[in-house]
């Protein structure tokens, strides 16, 4: 069995964003030489997420509104966590959106359903954050 590890670094200029990272993951898969196995992609920060969904701008706006309704950024004082940072909402948004995505690898390709893509979700941007790609298989 082969094992391959790669880190990506993101610095999103806004506080929140959804970034399609499918191309970077596909590049890592090609580098790995794995043709049958699993690909794990996970955010290595507790205010960011990795998830699978459609790359459609209207859906992204809907997700942003939905998340902001669940955990509004302001007022900052609503969160007990906000003692030295103002990112209590980002921790909650990450909890809802999840830490990682696992995608099957078949025939050397990510085995997606229709329209599925891998996204990095940033909820407290403007600083460097890492995403881990771990691929195992034959």
The pLDDT tens digits of the residues spanning 10-67 come to: 999 999 999 999 999 999 999 999 999 999 999 999 999 999 999 999 999 999 999 9
* pTM recorded for the entire structure: 0.96
Each residue of 58-81: pLDDT tens digit?
A: 999 999 999 999 999 999 999 999
Distances from the Cα of 91 to the Cα of 5, 33, 86, 107, angstroms: 26, 35, 10, 37
2-137 carries CATH number 1.10.10.10:
no
3-class state of residue 24 by DSSP: helix
User: Where do the structural domains in the chain lie, given as residue ranges?
Assistant: 2-137
């Amino acid at each position: 069995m082969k094992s391959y590890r790669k880190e990506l670094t993101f610095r999103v200029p806004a506080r929140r964003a959804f970034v399609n990272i499918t191309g970077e993951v596909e590049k890592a898969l090609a580098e790995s030489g794995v043709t049958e196995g699993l690909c794990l992609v996970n955010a290595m920060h507790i205010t960011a997420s990795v998830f699978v969904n459609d790359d459609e701008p209207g859906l992204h706006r809907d997700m942003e509104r939905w998340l902001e309704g669940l955990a509004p950024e302001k007022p900052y004082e609503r969160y007990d966590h906000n003692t030295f940072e103002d990112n209590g909402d980002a921790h909650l948004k990450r909890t809802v959106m999840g830490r990682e995505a696992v995608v099957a690898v078949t025939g050397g390709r990510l085995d997606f359903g229709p329209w599925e893509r891998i996204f990095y979700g940033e909820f407290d941007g403007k600083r460097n954050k890492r995403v881990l790609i771990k691929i195992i298989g034959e």
